A and B are shown apart, each in its own frame.
Chain A
């Protein structure tokens, strides 16, 4: 009797933990790119090494982007980005942690849902509370998330010297695409 009870409890626990796991979706190869456009110069960079995790039960979401993984067209831009602007040795990653609203976990596969994420965007060691609009699409196995937002460099204490101000936009346009699969 006692053994049966323990077994049942263990089985229930196992079930609960599997369910909790199935509620979490993640990726380590999310796409993030950004774009700075001025009349003098267009600068863009891209990484496919961002991580993202979505917890469906709590609707919490987190992104982590290794700064050093961004690739630029010109090597010197990449060096300056890491050395002079984002200081990637001091601040190795940019993160966003927050809550998604407007996400229906039971939506039909392939249906595009407009969603809003509210939380903390941390870039260059400076936290800014942000609300970002995006879309979520349920796929056969998981979720696809997309968002586009602007990051003013001033918000994150990234000074642009006068000499290059004509070449670097004051606000950088960021796009992210993540295909999450069950954890």
Chain B
């Protein structure tokens, strides 16, 4: 008995000899399940050699009622492809039903949370091109008028395996604005987070506060659930933003939660490993 106790403690001493687990090169994984928290970007990018395909639907206003099946009759779509050139850099293209908008974007992990680094910082830049026919074809229309730009920094921290939060300072530049009173540059600060309910399900929320808001629109507020099933992530959400690309939900959110102008939608993402790591 005594011998056994001594033996066991000698083995534990041996384990202690090996010291604490040291993996200095390990970055914190899966701060968020997907590259987006809901509408807005998370700090995540597709891994190197991985194609990330996302198909997103946004339905009509829930306040449309039973006649329009609470908005489900009016679906708009976003189809996006993002490719990880390396584990830290990705490029993407997308097409939106909303204003027939084309997008191209670049996303880079500038800083990654690890044992020694307390947070992750990811830069995101996108250019969007309105694809609608000119409403007034007779006047002189410049191609540049179709374009708008968004630049964001996603500053994120995974506090523990369940909770992650992100702050997202953002700037949106419109080449063409509706009236001379509207600002070409709009500044916003976003806050988002997730809390995991189980290994494969989390609840998410995000809010974007416009710092120099125009009259017409509202701040974007979204609540959602992430469900992970193998290679897919389903994100179900309700939001007062109809557009699914940055400029649209950051600066053109028309709905008001209090009036029931909210939209149900989902993102469905799938990853394909295209080339070896």
A98 to B4, CA, bound (A): 12
User: Which of B14, B17, B161, B231 is close to A87, meaning CB atoms less than 8 Å apart?
Assistant: B161
User: Which of B12, B23, B47 is close to A69, meaning CB atoms less than 8 Å apart?
Assistant: B23
Q: Could you count the A-B residue pairs with CB atoms below 8 Å apart for me: how many are there?
A: 87
Contact bitstring B142-169, A, C-beta under 8 A = 1, else 0: 0000000000000000001100000000
Q: CB of A154 within 8 A of chain B?
A: no
Known: A73-B276, A74-B273, A78-B29. A66 touches B23 (CB 8 A): yes
CB distance from A128 to the nearest CB of B (A): 15
Contact bitstring B253-277, A, C-beta under 8 A = 1, else 0: 0000000000000000001010011
A84 to B277, CA, bound (A): 22
Contacts of A98 in B (CB 8 A): 11
Q: CB of B229 within 8 A of chain A?
A: yes
Contacts of B277 in A (CB 8 A): 73-75
A164 to B200, CA, bound (A): 13
Smallest CB gap from B50: residue in A: A75
Q: CB of A64 within 8 A of chain B?
A: yes
B50 lies within 8 A of A76 (CB):
yes
Q: CB of A99 within 8 A of chain B?
A: yes
Q: CB of A55 within 8 A of chain B?
A: yes
Q: CB of A49 within 8 A of chain B?
A: yes
User: Which of A62, A68, A92, A167 is close to B15, meaning CB atoms less than 8 Å apart?
Assistant: A62
A78 to B273, CA, bound (A): 13
Total interface residues on B, using CB and 8 Å? 31
A82 lies within 8 A of B12 (CB):
no
Q: CB of B30 within 8 A of chain A?
A: yes
Q: List 26 A-B contacts (CB under 8 A).
A: A26-B17, A49-B23, A51-B19, A53-B17, A58-B7, A58-B10, A60-B7, A60-B10, A60-B11, A61-B11, A64-B21, A73-B273, A74-B50, A74-B273, A75-B87, A78-B29, A82-B30, A83-B29, A84-B200, A87-B161, A89-B160, A93-B21, A95-B15, A98-B11, A99-B7, A161-B200
Q: Residues of B with Cβ closer than 8 Å to A?
A: 7, 10-12, 14-15, 17-19, 21-23, 26, 29-30, 47-48, 50, 87, 160-161, 199-200, 228-231, 271, 273, 276-277
